[in-house]
Structure 1
């Protein structure tokens, strides 16, 4: 057997001989940002921004780019303070409270552990979901940056993106959930934006992969250049696609119950959920049931745990939760 005397190994010698090379990827990224954004405008604006790294990989880059903004959870904590670093509202309550209590923060950006997924807050400390972020990005890239290209979204993203693409004459494609299905198309075709419901988004001019910091800076540049609040920019997209709210709930079930519900979905057993009558069904990755009034809900089973993920969209938060409640009642009926 081969034996290696670790004590005799010298990294310094390997560096000297060229076998090991240090590459400063962080500085490369910072330089790339400086070339692609009007960072002076973002730094000199009267708007105030905040960033929550969730103890993740984005903290150093954001400190270098925007040292004067408000920071939260930007220190090393390998255990993430016991909180899963997923940028969804229930994991970001302290950040939302910081924004609400400050009274002068215009927008808050959060990224997950490896900084590729985005969470966003308006100046009132209200969570802005990825569906709205995708629509905001498309609106900015098309109207202000004069960019074009195909939009590719995962199955769980709001169909209102299709409405916006029709409005601007953009090609639109829906794929299975999982960013690999989007990235493959971005590599081979002219894609303006690729996005997922989970907050993973990529846009033209950068890499064909998710980047939460890049998306956040794009939104901040949009706000600064337009002089408008996030809510005002969202109102502009509502004029095109209509107002909506999106909610999600996870049903933790016994595996046999989950399997039975999935079988019912496969066999088209659900024609209504309480008062909500199914008009049509899409089955690209899970089951998406469409109702009247641009309302819909989606059922998708976790492949790794006994969980059903239910998604719903309606005109208001209350109506979206009412759909989820009716669906759960029917599924467990």
Structure 2
């Protein structure tokens, strides 16, 4: 029996190993039992991403839900996580389910839970579902007749993608972006957001916007090392003003400027706050994950905004967004949500805000970043993922807990914060952070400094110290 445990954002496992029909049925059984406790007329919205056998796994889950008398709304074809979150709220469902492994490598499948408010199911509720997952399920539970369920209107097909595209049209000045003269590009990384921008911007340069369940062997995470084709395309073209990239389920954003330089999430968050407050007159609290730059707190102080730091995992941000007046919630990983939309990470939505900012201001991305630097100061950031043994990873974490690291090379540790992982503050407003991933077998090392050369020196010094080189 495989232990099924929900991590930072859902359950992830290797397809054909632990991610199997049998285990999907088990998780679906736990979900069904939980939903039945919430309502006398329970409903679920479900969709799957672009990964291998998504339809099969979705139909497996649907059969379990139907066995329990639950009404199911399903997306016919792959959809993004924001589409399912939006659909869960729209149809008043008790829960939303997205079969996705998000940014994980192609060999992974996953199962995310969404709340009726249109964002991640909150941690205490996720634990309740997890506690209801049985060790085994009977074959009878998968005997539901899907065609009959459709005829009986217990299984209803919904077009979540069109609903999402319509929301984008209603929320943004698409014509202003089209008529701005900006040359834009979009890299879907073969993910489930690949069809959204085609009808809105038919002239836009599109990369990896076709169905490829193997993702050409590349983990669909929109970070610089995974976007070399997009970077090369921008540099070869020489006239792309900005390029957006989204991950496997389109809830994370990656961004490039005109020169082909990757713009990290810290800069994106700062740009979004700057636009929404200075240019649009919006207000509200800012909530960011522990791995985000201290520059965000500095920006909030400049604009008189409350700022709160939370543990990593968007579910920790979503709970605050539904209870308080939040302008923006964001993570270092590219998951960002803003006021006026569902409390959910959404890569395409964030990209549209940036493009609208450029179009409305008439300024280049570089000029807008300079405006941000005038407030918080210039900085660069980079993250390194160490693929090491579990034994060594635990040894490093133990060393962190026991304050074993007084310096990393020439960089002396001035203070440490431990909200979620270990953030070591170094001289000259630099910092390095160490944290094990909640979804992958890696140790993440994050660093910030005044320029990229310094960032990479810090990362190398940290890696050498951790691995005792």
Three-state SS of the structure 2 residue aligned to 1:57 is coil
Deviation at 1:96, TM superposition (A): 0.9
Given the alignment of the two structures, is residue 195 of structure 1 paired with residue 330 of structure 2, yes or no?
yes
Q: Distance in 2 between matches of 1:236 and 1:3?
A: 58
Figure out how many residues of one structure are paired with residues of the other and give that number: 330
- Residues 2 and 195 (structure 1 numbering): CA distance in 2 closer, same or farther, change over 3 Å? closer
Equivalent of 2:296 in 135, 155, 161: 161
Q: Is the 8 A contact 2:244 2:253 kept in 1?
A: yes
Aligned partner of 1:211 in structure 2 is 346
Q: SS at the partner of 1:194?
A: strand
Contact 1:56 1:112 in 2 (8 A): yes
For structure 1, list consecutive stretches of 5 or more residues without a partner in the other structure. Answer: none
Q: Is the 8 A contact 1:258 1:306 kept in 2?
A: no
Secondary structure at 1:21 match in 2: strand
Structure 1 counterpart of 2:359, from 221, 224, 227: 224
Distance 1:215 1:277, change over 3 A: same
SS at match of 1:120: strand
Q: How does 1:139-154 map to 2 (within 5 A)?
A: 139-154=274-289
Offset of 1:85 from its aligned partner? 0.9
Q: Does residue 27 of structure 1 match 2:162?
A: yes
- Within a 5 Å distance, the mapping from 1:239-318 to structure 2 comes to 239-303=374-438, 307-318=442-453
Given candidates 455, 463, 466, the residue that maps to 1:320 is 455
Q: Deviations over 1:290-330 (max 9, x none)?
A: 11211011011235665321111000100011111111222
Question: Deviation of residue 124 (structure 1)?
Answer: 1.1
The alignment yields a C-alpha RMSD, in angstroms, of 1.9
Q: State the match for 1:234 in structure 2.
A: 369
Cα distance in 2 between the residues matched to 1:299 and 1:97: 31
Contact 2:421–2:435 (CA under 8 A) maintained in structure 1:
yes
Cα distance change of structure 1 residues 51 and 184 upon mapping to structure 2, 3 Å threshold: same
User: 1:256, CA displacement in angstroms?
Assistant: 2.5
Q: Give the drift of 1:15.
A: 4.6
In 2, the alpha carbon distance for the partners of 1:50 and 1:129 equals: 17
Contact 1:149 1:170 in 2 (8 A): yes
Deviation for aligned residue 1:5: 8.8
1: CA distance, partners of 2:401 / 2:299:
31
Structure 1 residue corresponding to 2:197, chosen from 56, 62, 70: 62
Distance 1:322 1:171 in 2: 33
Residue 222 (structure 2) aligns with = 87
Q: What CA deviation, in whole Å up to 9, does each residue of 1:111-162 have, x standing for no partner?
A: 0111110010001111111110000000001011111111011100101000
Partner of 1:121: 256
**What's the offset of the Cα at 1:210?**
0.4
- Contact 1:295–1:314, Cα closer than 8 Å, also in 2: yes
TM-score by length of 2: 0.68
Deviating above 4 A after TM superposition, structure 1's stretches of 4 or more consecutive aligned residues are 1-6, 13-17, 303-306
Unaligned stretches of 5+ residues in structure 2: 1-138
| 1:75 alignment counterpart | 210
CA distance in 2, matches of 1:14, 1:27: 24
**Farther off after superposition, 141-150 or 20-29:** 20-29
1:180 match:
315
Q: Is the 8 A contact 2:269 2:336 kept in 1?
A: yes
- The 1:226/1:305 distance shift into structure 2, 3 A limit, reads closer
The aligned residue for residue 44 of structure 2 is: none
Q: 1:326 to 1:3 in 2, by over 3 A?
A: closer
How far did 1:23 drift? 2.0
- 1:86-125 CA distances to partner (integer Å, 9 max, x unpaired)? 1111111111111111111100001011111001000111
